[in-house]
Amino acid sequence: MANQPTSTDKAKIAIFISGGGTNMAAILYASRLPDAPYDVVLVASNMPDAGGLKLAELEGIPTYVHSHKGHSRSAQDAAMEQAAVQAGAQYLVLAGYMRILSEEFVRRWDGRILNIHPSLLPKYKGLDTHARAIEAGDSHAGASVHVVTAELDAGDVLAQAKVAIALGDTPESLSERVKLAEHQLYPRAVADYVSRGSDPDFLFAKLRGLALALPETHERESHGSPGFRVGTQKTGKYFAYFSDRHHGSEHIALLVKTSGMDELLNLVETQPETYYKPAFYGASGWVGVILNRADLDWDHIAEWLERSWRATAPARLTKLLDAADQF
């Protein structure tokens, strides 16, 4: 089973390469700057002579090689995965890794594999990206960092860098400049991605999406915090609030209604890493569900939102939801 990220330590990443490994080097050196949120725990390759392996060794990073020749995709994936898990990796960062990962592999690491692709996605998926951009007469080429999903070069794009195409550029000359841009882009995109669990903007955006997906809801600020209400703009009632270290709390949290003080105190006492009693709101039975923690499960947050919504919504709306649940 893949290692899960923890909130306090630095994230542990394994980098998979097949070639020169200049992106790997950029990420590795960035990891050694003050405040970098990740450590490189392994550099692994399917090519025994990948240039990047030497550099990693020189820098004291554990390396692993498993040639794909004569192995099925699943055997190759299994070997690479085992090495990454043993090294304690929580994220896999593909940097010029020229093998397509199997669907099962990607599913097991859902949302925890990143890749860099040398084009401004969604343009030019696949190979020969620079030649295609030049051929098309594009003004810019570039690179994109994206989350790896089962479909090739199709996961969410996290960050992009644009590079102007010069008159007379060849794929080689363009690729050199795109790589310079990649070396700036990739370390930062990895850092942002592994840190997003403690980023209030990311957490709020995610929460907002879930809250506003419930029937007849809208957002309204309350005492300086964003809140979510159910019902009409005029008569609606709050069923959730977002609290970003409000009232002296260290937590970024969702505040939702419990059934009352007994349940609230019980949750806080038995699961203090997940729940706390918020200032002011706690007095009326609202619990704080901590969002900035490593084992956060968004399904659990969605359940709390729905429960609090049900406890607040007028009967005409809860009836609709009950009816939908029958199917």
C-alpha 162/C-alpha 206 separation (Å) is 27
Quote the least distance from Cβ 171 to ligand GRF, whole Å: 11
C-alpha 206/C-alpha 156 separation (Å) is 14
Closest CA to 206 of 236, 159, 242: 242
Instruction: Evaluate the omega torsion of the peptide bond into residue 314 and state whether it is cis, within 30 degrees of 0.
Output: no
Which residue among 66, 68, 117, 246 is the active-site one? 117
Determine if 305 is a binding residue for ligand GRF (CB under 6 A). Answer: no
Determine if 174 is a binding residue for ligand GRF (CB under 6 A). Answer: no
Determine if 46 is a binding residue for ligand GRF (CB under 6 A). Answer: no
Determine if 20 is a binding residue for ligand GRF (CB under 6 A). Answer: yes
Query: Is residue 117 annotated as part of the catalytic site, yes or no?
Result: yes
| The binder of ligand GRF chosen from 11, 42, 121, 143 (CB under 6 A) | 143
| The binder of ligand GRF chosen from 5, 13, 14, 23 (CB under 6 A) | 23
**DSSP assignments along 215-244, one per residue:** TTEEEEEETTEEEEEES-TTT-EEEEEEEE
Determine if 22 is a binding residue for ligand GRF (CB under 6 A). Answer: yes
Closer to ligand GRF by CB, 105 or 242: give it: 105
Among the residue ranges 2-10, 22-30, 202-210, 247-255, the one whose residues contact ligand GRF (CB under 6 A): 22-30
Rg (CA), the chain: 24
Closest CA to 124 of 96, 152, 99: 152
Helix axes 200-212, 298-312, angle to 10 degrees: 50
List the x/- string, 68-97, binding to ligand GRF by CB under 6 A.
Answer: ---------------------------xx-
Which residue ranges make up the site for ligand GRF (CB under 6 A)?
17, 19-24, 95-96, 116-118, 143, 179, 182
Supply the residues annotated as catalytic.
Answer: 117
